[in-house]
Structure 1
Amino acid sequence: MRRALRLLPLPLSIAICLPAMADDKPVNWGLCPATEVLPAFSEAPQADKAAAAARDQLPTDIEGNELSGTSTVPQYQGNVILKRGDQFMGTDNLRIDTETGNYIAEGNVRYSDSSIRMVAERAEGNQESDSHKISNIQYQLVSRRGNGGAESIDLQGSIGQMHQSTYTTCDPSQPVWKLVAPQIEVDNEEGFGTARNAVLHIGKVPVLYAPWFKFPIDDRRQTGLLYPKLSLSGRNGFDYAQPIYFNLAPNYDDTLTPRWMSKRGLLLDNEFRYLYPGGKGQLDTTYMANDSLRDRDRGKVEFRGYHNLDRHWQARANLAWVSDERYVEDFANRLYGITSSNLSSTAGLYGTGRSWTAGLMADHWQLTDYTLTERALPYSRQPRLFGTWEESFGNWLEAGIYAEAVRFTHDDVHGKRIDADGEYVRNGVVTEMPGGSRLDIKPYVSMPLAGAAWYITPTLAWRYTAYDLERGLADDIRRKQLVAAGINPNTATPEQLRGNVSPTRHMPITSIDMGLFFDRETTLDGKSYLHTLEPRLFYLNTPYRDQSELPLFDTRAFTFSWGQLFRDSRYTGADRQNDANQLTAALTTRLIRQADGREKLSASIGQITYFDDARVTLNPSDPVVHEGKSAWVADMNWAVTDRWTLGTSYQWNPKFRKEDLASLRARYLFPEDGVINLNYRYRRNPSNGADQLKQVDFSFLYPINPRWSVVGRYYYSLLEADRKPLEIIGGVQWDSCCLAVRALARRYVKNREGDMNNSFQVEFVLKGLSSVGQDTDRTLRRAILGYNRDDLYLVPPANIEANDDDYDPNLIP
């Protein structure tokens, strides 16, 4: 009798044929009624994955109220039940011909397993030929939402054909959307289905017709069309992208996306991915013939990948190239595309161990700001060899070393002028940019001493830096020295103009970092808190060395902040090491709720006292840091309630008696969903007192009711010279049990001239199937922090990511 069970798994084809294209994005089913389309059958066994995996090795149990017929053709009548593992089949009548293999099940046919529940009017077929026909079917998915039906299904082995089948994730009483296909052919062995004349209905209105499409019915990837993306904007016009997926092999695939922009033309975008046990990679290529926006061919090539050589070493590359200096701006849809001025490519070999890191790499920079020349690009490192090592010797001694050897090169600078159309074009003037080599070594030793409520860590480091410069660069540096000394280079002697091609610098760096921890228990509003007080002192002493002969390859001044109070250098890179005789005094206090460890309040304040003038500067003509006090640095975060949070950062400069920086952050979380963000940012140039940045940023997701919500962002620059909006978003969202619709209108700065672009995006999210339209979720998550609640517990992605090979020799552990 086990052979009769062969029909049981076959109706699964109905369940997997249409919902196979379901989106991976998590959706909200909170508006769905609690009732099930097909309640669980009381006679069915417990459905679980373990039982499903073992079903083929288990026997079939058959029972019924009556058994008649003959031994050759037994007939079961009255509440006939068949069970095997997680599978259950029930019917009123079951007749089986054991010699021919024919069977007929009719009357209240019911089937369920761990993934589907189904009812049908009749099932018949032949076990020997593995052919079956099931009539008048209704089904409900168990492992994921979805239900539907079919007039009939014909099965021949692994091949199935369904007629007049439907699929939806809505309640049948309210079918907001439904996919209808008169004919679907399913090949379970190959893992794909083919639908003909399929129509997507929203309500009673057909909105999408597909005369033919092929789709996967299991986890195996299949070649075919993906859902299109549509949008409308002032720059691109009507924008339609149609991804085409190619399943080339189990470990690599390709997605080709033709994209038509009515105001610009046809663009081809291709994504090739590969994966193997030792690594993976992705190659993205884009080509657009005769972009009407710039009247030229455009393109981009980008590769990201890695290969693991062994447990310690990895080869890694991140390469990128664009066809022109306006490509990033013209194809970006956010402010980063406007502010980005270069594109980097990096490749190298990287290693790491318990107490060491090392690497050999090279990089190159490409200009992506048409208003600049190549002089604005960083020096390329071709190649760069670096390594770090640190080790503990007992409980009281640590030692380590940072080392780097690098060759700096730079592209020649092409001069530019503005033509009659206001465009920047090359004027034929080429200036060479000489480079050089640098060796930087920084060993250190420290003694970390600590108790239950205190710590003190004295550290002694020695830094040695040597250069081998090209003659042109050394002479340029010498000219700057003469100008800073008040000597006219045009009247200087040849000996005075000759720069040092092998400058060096060596100096000790001494620091002492110490702190205390005080805490007490206190009560506020009837709740118990732990109140801490954490004073900290950081003393730094570094002697003065004249570094005006040293070049500036990769070094700039850090933006003054809380972290800068405890660093041993004001500069990134090794080209400058500031002299210092200074003491940082800082104080932090916290209120920590005892019940759950939540931080109710954290506040910090600190300042550097300079006992001597710090004379080392980036350029000889730059002002020195004079003896006295730095700006006060303060930072506070306060959880007013579990929903209201406030934060502020503030820097008060006693020299100018005004703030260098001020920012205010406020956030309110609605009970179920929704958020309001308000941010104000101000920064002043401390050297000349000019305003650098002054912005307000207001964003929100406001739920009007469980179905309707509004979203928006108003991002505005308050600078007098540039008072204008940077990005404005307004939109509405409608949600139901099985369908969500988002419509957004967006106005944002599209280029460096400050011109504005308008766009309109609409997305239909068919829950349990996919989404049609533009990816509005990506736009809203970027613009509204907290649009997805999980984002609040992650560090927001930076516009510019740090390279994996970066290390900081200026931060002593």
Structure 2
Amino acid sequence: MPVAGLSVAGTPPTAAELDWRSKDRLPDAVRNSLPAFCKGGYLPSVTESEPGGVFGEGAAADVPLHASGLDARYEVDSELYLKGDVRLRQGNFQATGSEARYNQSAGQVAIQGPLVSRGNGFLLTGDHAEYSVDTGRFDINTATFLLHGPEMRGRAESLSRMDDSRVEIREGMLTTCGPRQNDWSVVASEIELDQSEGFGTAKHVRLEVLDVPVFYWPYASFPIDDRRKSGFLYPQFGSSSAGSGAFLAVPYYLNLAPHYDATLTPQYIHGRGLFNEAEGRYLSSLGETTLQLGYIDNDSTYRDENPGESGQRWALDATTRAAFGGGWRGYGDFSVVSDEDYLSDLNRSLEINQTTHLQRKGGVRYQGPNQYFDVYLNDYQTVSDRIAQASKPYAQLPEALYAGTTEAGIFEAGLESQYTWFHRDNDTLTGLDRANGQRFRARPELAVPMRALWGYSRPSVSLDYTRYDLEDYTKGDGSFDRTVPVVEWDNGLYFDRQSSLFDVPYNQTLEPRLYYAWADAEADQNDIPAFDTALQTFRFEQLFRPDRFVGGDRVGDANQLTVALTSRFNDLVTGAERARFSIGQVQYFKDREVTLFGEGGGDRSRSPLAGEVVLNPLQNLQIRSSGLWDPETGETEEGRSQLVFHSEDYRYLATVGHTYSKGELEQSDIGAVIPATDRVSLIGRWVYDSDLDRTVGSLAGIEYNNCCWSVQVVHQNYLTDDEELDSRLLFQIQLRGLGGSGGSSTSISEAIYGFDERERRRFGTP
């Protein structure tokens, strides 16, 4: 068998050294899949289909023993002695060695090393072994082993295969680091692997870094296949959110039944005390339900910062999804926290984003070929105490949506409808803010769609009807309705031509578009509350919508024509869209008089020019820019530009962006991950606000990778609610095959596009 050349002279190679190959000796497909920071990988010396190994069908007295060697001596009915290139096989067991003695009467084979036993995904070496022909028990001294699947290697003073499915290891060590590279390892006095149950147990377990013990478990259990097993998971440690200090967590997994389980995570946070998180999962034939809880009885830091508070804090997050069949689905989401600082102070596992409002929503939905139905209850918890009651969102108790289309000859008929009961606590509110009640909205439409290869035309007529039945309405009778006729006519042409650029054939399109909209809405609608309505941000896609408002409480008046042009460049070899240019403008034939309490009206005859540019010159490079330019003033109203680049393996990442809104905001940002060496990468992001003339966010860090562990250390500055720049130090350690601690990667992923994909690929996972 070939040897990688790592073993000390005169010492037999270990199992890992037998199958280890430097990167230049690996097949191209294997070498190209390795990250740059890996110096090599494992390649079995023989085909994995050969029998053998510590697990298998085992031997039995009626299964013949096959033995061979260069020299043999046989005493009838007594002993067989083999020497030189000894090979043994019985059933699923096989081994090679230098010498072997088979005691026929006792059914025992003594094998002298260097001994090698290879099986499906398992390689074993040792100095000396005893094998029972009758029972299949296999005892080996000074053993080393290699698991090809997880690329995990180890050693043991002794290893015993007790039966077909059970292996005992004494004074064992295992790691995912390469041969003779014990950057980290797990050492245990006793390890038992039970294939029939699918788990292993270990006693007196130590985590060692560079052969120095850093953590101790008296007992641990762990899975050795895909089956789940109750037991302690690997401890987690690190620094939680800003101001919380260091933490230590010891998760415990409960495999309660095949269709439900739970994970309990008690943890100690310096300066706060004992904090507990729990997660339960339930899987049924319909779908999955997850419940997550967090609780601390006495948060000393929070109590000191908030005199009068008890220090008892908690959070809950629940999700459920169900598929009933026939297009019907059910869903539910519920989140609640005890106080507005819980998410920033304590949360590590609950799937709740940092936000001002936590949603509680549940309902059923139907999705068919030509129709859609959704009914749900929806409410919010407003997390921040600084938000006024009048600014809090309304609950929908309930809301029902229905939409459908059908064809009748040359006509296409459609209906969009919505019923909502809006509710918000109104004891302290006055005027329109005090109103609660029901709203029904229906928008039937009749259209004549005409399509051809060279273009399309779609004239349509619709009626936007809304009815209110309100309580605590101070403007008069709470029952009233509104009807607005709407006419739309959307037209487009398609031209294309083929050419080539730098010997690459491409197809260029020219797509002019005319869109007309007319809506006869009453000018004064400000006697209607704004339950869910806002003014849409003007963008290129807004050029082709009849209404400038979202929500149902305003219907904008319109008499306008949009003229737009789009051109695309498509690579005819790969089919990729390499470039897209779009520009358009709205011509207004009358003033816009409908407003949302003063916003949304206008008397200019033309809108700003809205444009978009998307360039994909390379597979891994995208340049995107959009904006509004006013030809009357010659000024840019809004703009957003972004460049995103990543190398094929995501080792290099770069983002450059600029955001501008006239009179409101101008910010520039740049982010990058740049390898300094094969193993060291620099991470950074900077956000600068030109109006404030200050940095409003930054992130700087360093990452080290090798093939069995990695570490990230990141310093982050971020703007708080009171517009002060706060900072925190984040880190994350990943031990391949063992998990990790800390949480820096989440913050980096939020700051730098593509970093989450890079994390997924770091160890070459598919």
The TM-score, its normalising length taken from structure 2, stands at: 0.85
TM superposition shift of 1:261: 2.8
Distance in 2 separating the partners of 1:729 and 1:84:
61
Identity %: 27
Distance in 1 separating the partners of 2:246 and 2:432:
43
Cα deviation digits, residues 262-313 of structure 1 (max 9, x gap)? 2333322111111122111111111222332234322111110123333332
Structure 1: 5+ residue stretches without partners:
1-13, 16-26, 416-428, 479-498, 685-689, 794-813
Counterpart of 2:745 in 1: which secondary structure?
A: helix
Give the alignment partner of residue 762 of structure 1, picking from 731, 738, 743.
731
Distance in 2 separating the partners of 1:253 and 1:407:
38
1:205-216 equivalences under 5 Å are: 205-216=212-223
Are the aligned partners of 2:241 and 2:344 in contact in 1 as well (CA < 8 Å)?
Answer: no
Q: Corresponding residue for 1:274?
A: 282
Q: Corresponding residue for 1:782?
A: 750
Q: Corresponding residue for 2:705?
A: 735
Are the aligned partners of 2:66 and 2:90 in contact in 1 as well (CA < 8 Å)?
Answer: no
Distance in 1 separating the partners of 2:35 and 2:557:
62
Distance in 2 separating the partners of 1:664 and 1:153:
62
Q: Which stretch has the larger CA shift, 377-386 or 737-746?
A: 737-746
TM superposition shift of 1:456: 1.2
TM superposition shift of 1:384: 1.7
TM superposition shift of 1:469: 1.0
Q: 1:461 to 1:782 in 2, by over 3 A?
A: same
Distance in 2 separating the partners of 1:173 and 1:240:
30
The one of the two structures with greater contact order (alpha-carbon pairs below 8 A, sep at least 6) is 1
Are the aligned partners of 1:329 and 1:337 in contact in 2 as well (CA < 8 Å)?
Answer: no
Distance in 2 separating the partners of 1:201 and 1:615:
73
Q: Corresponding residue for 2:444?
A: 443
Answering whether residue 260 of structure 2 is matched by residue 249 of structure 1, we say no
Cα deviation digits, residues 211-246 of structure 1 (max 9, x gap)? 332222222222213330311665212233332222
Q: Corresponding residue for 2:425?
A: 411
TM superposition shift of 1:656: 5.3
Q: Corresponding residue for 2:11?
A: none
TM superposition shift of 1:726: 3.4
Distance in 2 separating the partners of 1:169 and 1:682:
49
TM superposition shift of 1:588: 1.0
Query: What amino acid does structure 2 have at the position aligned with 1:435?
Result: N
Q: Corresponding residue for 1:589?
A: 567
Q: Corresponding residue for 1:352?
A: 367
Distance in 2 separating the partners of 1:262 and 1:399:
64
Q: 1:369 to 1:534 in 2, by over 3 A?
A: same
Q: 1:309 to 1:520 in 2, by over 3 A?
A: closer
TM superposition shift of 1:461: 1.8
Q: How many residues align?
A: 714
Query: What amino acid does structure 2 have at the position aligned with 1:169?
Result: T
Q: Which stretch has the larger CA shift, 133-142 or 274-283?
A: 133-142
Answering whether residue 248 of structure 2 is matched by residue 237 of structure 1, we say no
TM superposition shift of 1:543: 1.4
Q: 1:71 to 1:719 in 2, by over 3 A?
A: farther
1:452-601 equivalences under 5 Å are: 452-470=453-471, 472-473=472-473, 475=474, 478=475, 499-546=476-523, 547-601=525-579
Query: What amino acid does structure 2 have at the position aligned with 1:40?
Result: S
Query: What amino acid does structure 2 have at the position aligned with 1:735?
Result: N
Q: Corresponding residue for 1:399?
A: 413
Are the aligned partners of 2:288 and 2:320 in contact in 1 as well (CA < 8 Å)?
Answer: yes
Distance in 2 separating the partners of 1:169 and 1:67:
43
Distance in 1 separating the partners of 2:352 and 2:724:
14
Q: Which stretch has the larger CA shift, 433-442 or 228-237?
A: 228-237
Q: Corresponding residue for 1:113?
A: 119
Counterpart of 1:161 in 2: which secondary structure?
A: strand
Distance in 2 separating the partners of 1:533 and 1:613:
32
TM superposition shift of 1:581: 1.1
Counterpart of 2:297 in 1: which secondary structure?
A: strand
Q: Which stretch has the larger CA shift, 90-99 or 444-453?
A: 90-99
Q: Which stretch has the larger CA shift, 540-549 or 297-306?
A: 540-549
Q: Corresponding residue for 2:687?
A: 715
Counterpart of 2:521 in 1: which secondary structure?
A: coil
Q: Corresponding residue for 2:393?
A: 378
Give the alignment partner of residue 369 of structure 1, picking from 366, 373, 384.
384
Runs of 4+ in 1 over 6 A off after TM superposition: 52-61, 84-87, 336-339, 429-432, 790-793
Answering whether residue 612 of structure 2 is matched by residue 635 of structure 1, we say yes
Q: Corresponding residue for 1:650?
A: 627
Distance in 1 separating the partners of 2:344 and 2:689:
20
Structure 2: 5+ residue stretches without partners:
1-14, 17-32, 762-766
Counterpart of 1:780 in 2: which secondary structure?
A: helix
Distance in 2 separating the partners of 1:597 and 1:85:
55
Give the alignment partner of residue 40 of structure 1, picking from 45, 51, 55.
45
Are the aligned partners of 1:557 and 1:571 in contact in 2 as well (CA < 8 Å)?
Answer: yes
TM superposition shift of 1:184: 1.9
Q: 1:39 to 1:364 in 2, by over 3 A?
A: closer
Tell me how large the CA RMSD over aligned residues is. 3.5
Q: Corresponding residue for 2:671?
A: 699
Q: Corresponding residue for 2:326?
A: 311
Q: Which stretch has the larger CA shift, 534-543 or 178-187?
A: 178-187
Query: What amino acid does structure 1 have at the position aligned with 2:118?
Result: S
Q: Corresponding residue for 2:335?
A: 320
Distance in 2 separating the partners of 1:412 and 1:48:
76
